[in-house]
């Protein structure tokens, strides 16, 4: 299928689409919009795989989110079954998320912040090894803590730890380690370090809501940019408040084109090529 747009990161297997999924997916097919639906734990990864195998324009990544469920583990035996799907194009979303650490500690959900960070790092490392083992790219989630919450003077603590781990594994595995920084909201320094490691960046609706990340986007080569919606979350400004959809990718492409001072068509076609290069080489 020739795609008009391709959503590099969404959750269209989410329960928020249960009532109208058939008509919703029919609309995506008619508009020639491709999607990677992203697992966040074993159960959600299974749902995502099942959905992807029913539709030629839907692909899947499988993995365990760092913080959605702090009791979730990476059951390699079970994920070995899922990775055999011909529609599986990556591992994740995985990574590090420090945003709620202080609140979790205050509520008694975690006993020790350092121990929780260690848990997340171990979980991430397991999935890095799994991705390399299966020659698949990573779909990486990163979210720093609030600056005043813990020792985070740069505001980039989770990203800094992600880069540290990726550098370590890059030395070990070289070009076998690859992937994409999903919903990237890091600064220019983090972006440069990720670029040097060969990683790409998928950008979403937040660009239409705030200009906080525009300088960083201007610094990125177009060859490193993918587009995503993170549906059903974070709908772009023109449709803010609605359930997000891959059908709204045009708003994101338009904003990237505006920020970078290039044509909408250039962003659309180059981001398609980038997504195909990173995730769809075997399809």
Q: Scanning the structure block, which residue is given the tokens 């960083």? A: 216
| pLDDT above 90: residue 153 | no
Query: What is the b/e burial string over 62-100, where b = at least 16 CB atoms within 10 angstroms of the residue's CB?
Result: bbbbbbeeeebebeeeebeebbebebbbbbbbbbbbbeb
Kindly indicate the confidence band of residue 283, based on its pLDDT and cuts at 50, 70 and 90: confident
- The reported pLDDT for the residue numbered 41 is 98
CA distances from 26 to 18, 54, 83, 269, 270 (A): 14, 12, 26, 23, 25
Q: What is the mean pLDDT of the chain?
A: 96
Sheet holding 225-227, edge to edge: 5-10, 33-38, 58-62, 88-97, 138-143, 179-182, 200-203, 225-227
Kindly indicate the confidence band of residue 282, based on its pLDDT and cuts at 50, 70 and 90: confident
Length of the chain: 283
| Paired tokens of 246 | 């891959």
- The reported pLDDT for the residue numbered 75 is 98
pLDDT tens digit sequence for 82-97: 999 999 999 999 999 9
| pLDDT above 80: residue 135 | yes
Omega before 232 cis (within 30°)?
yes
CA pair distance 187, 154, nearest whole angstrom? 10
67: CATH: 3.20.20.140
Domain count, the chain: 1
Give the domain range for residue 80.
5-279
Whole-model pTM: value is 0.97
Least confident stretch, 65-79, 150-164, 260-274: 150-164
Number of H helices, E strands in the chain: 11, 8
pLDDT tens digit sequence for 175-226: 999 999 999 999 999 999 999 999 999 999 999 999 999 999 999 999 999 9
Kindly indicate the confidence band of residue 147, based on its pLDDT and cuts at 50, 70 and 90: low
């Amino acid at each position: 299928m020739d795609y008009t747009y391709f959503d590099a990161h969404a959750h269209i297997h989410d329960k928020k689409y249960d009532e109208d999924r058939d008509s919703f997916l029919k609309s995506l097919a008619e508009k020639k919009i491709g999607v990677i639906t992203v697992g966040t734990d074993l159960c959600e990864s299974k749902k995502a795989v099942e959905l992807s195998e029913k539709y030629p324009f839907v692909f899947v990544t499988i993995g365990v989110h760092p913080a959605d469920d702090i009791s979730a583990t990476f059951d390699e035996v079970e994920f070995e079954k899922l990775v055999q799907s011909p529609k599986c194009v990556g591992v994740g979303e995985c990574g590090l998320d420090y945003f709620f650490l202080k609140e979790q500690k205050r509520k008694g959900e975690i006993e020790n912040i350092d121990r929780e960070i260690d848990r997340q790092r171990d979980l991430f490392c397991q999935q890095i090894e799994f991705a390399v083992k299966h020659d698949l790219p990573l779909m990486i989630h990163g979210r720093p803590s609030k600056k005043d919450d813990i020792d985070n003077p740069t505001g980039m603590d989770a990203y800094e730890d992600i880069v540290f781990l990726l550098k370590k594994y890059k030395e070990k595995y070289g070009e076998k380690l690859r992937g994409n920084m999903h919903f990237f909201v890091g600064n220019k320094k983090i972006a440069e370090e990720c670029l040097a490691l060969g990683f790409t960046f998928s950008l979403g609706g937040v660009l239409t809501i705030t200009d906080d990340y525009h300088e960083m986007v201007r610094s990125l080569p177009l060859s490193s940019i993918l587009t995503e919606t993170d549906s059903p979350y974070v709908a772009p400004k023109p449709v803010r408040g609605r359930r997000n959809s891959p059908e709204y990718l045009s708003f994101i492409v338009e904003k990237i084109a505006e920020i970078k001072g290039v044509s909408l068509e250039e962003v659309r076609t180059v981001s398609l090529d980038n997504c195909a290069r990173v995730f769809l080489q075997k399809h």
